Amino acid sequence: MKNIIGKLSVAAALLFSVSCGNGEGNMKTMAQLKDSIWAAYPTVAAVLVNVENDNNLVITLGSQDLYAQDELKRQAVADNIGAMAIRLFGKDNKLEHGKILVTQNEANQEAAPANALVSQMDFVTLKRAQ
């Protein structure tokens, strides 16, 4: 399981570095973001990260516990992870929108699983709050 997650982490970091430019710096930042998510949310077993069009961050989390939580709790998690991303990437990053997809499949390898529950991250608002 950890081997699969490790390979997915590398793939996500490579995808991010290709879409946002500064490869080595972004790979380190992506690893820090994943570590921060796992530290803050120990029930999360899988983390996938995808950046679309340099301004949209999509994070897929595999967690039965988080999947069972209500919408307000999942939105609080999305806001917290969004704030983490801003701190790690810097306030002047290109991110404008994002979403957290939560699936109950803790071995998830899909970027957009069919059963995912979605919470939005509004980086424009989150950046103003920091």
pTM summary value: 0.79
CB 62 within 8 A of CB 43: no
pLDDT average, residue stretch 16-26: 50
pLDDT at 36: 95
Residue 118 clears pLDDT 80, i.e. is over it: yes
Residue 42 clears pLDDT 90, i.e. is over it: yes
Question: For residue 113, is it left (φ>0), alpha (ψ between -120 and 50) or beta?
Answer: beta
Q: 23-27 long-range contacts, Cβ below 8 Å, gap at least 24?
A: none
pLDDT at 15: 43
pLDDT average, residue stretch 95-104: 94
Q: Token pair for residue 85?
A: 């991303």
Average pLDDT, the chain: 82
Show me where the domains of the chain are located.
2-129
Residue 55 clears pLDDT 90, i.e. is over it: no
Residue 46 clears pLDDT 70, i.e. is over it: yes
Angstrom distance (rounded) from CA 107 to CA 119:
20
Residue type, 23: G
Q: Where are the alpha helices (DSSP H) in 56-117?
A: 64-68, 71-89
